Amino acid sequence: MDDAVPGTPPAAEDEPVHDPAAPAPLNVPRTPTGDAGVDAALDRLGDADHLATDGHLEVYEDVHRGLRDALTALDVRPGPPVPARHPTTTPQRDPSGRPV
């Protein structure tokens, strides 16, 4: 005997339920820059693909911190050496005529 009620749809257990808050990869391509620190920070963005939206902030702040550190490191690298003053045979004088 069939206990199903006529006109009742079968149970939807096999159909996946769409959850808009569930993690979904964005599949945004990331092109390598050639700078290991920057590339590592950009690769970290892929971690957000596997997190719910409430976990994205931590990833974004971490990436921002890494990119900021990479930019700051550019400012502390030594630049080219400052050229030495060319020696002259004539003593240099200031505008008042005194030797420098």
Q: What is the pLDDT of residues 49-91, one digit of tens each?
A: 888 888 889 999 999 999 999 999 888 867 677 677 666 666 6
Residue 37: HSE in the Cβ half-sphere, 13 Å Cα cutoff: 12
Distance from chain centroid for Cα 20: 25
C-alpha distances in Å from residue 43, one per residue of 38, 40, 62, 67 = 9, 5, 11, 12
Please give the residue that has the higher pLDDT: either 31 or 27.
31
Of 69, 21, 67, the closest CA to residue 42 belongs to: 67
| Residue 9: per-residue pLDDT | 59
Q: What is the pTM of this model?
A: 0.53
How many CA within 13 A on the CB side of residue 51? 13
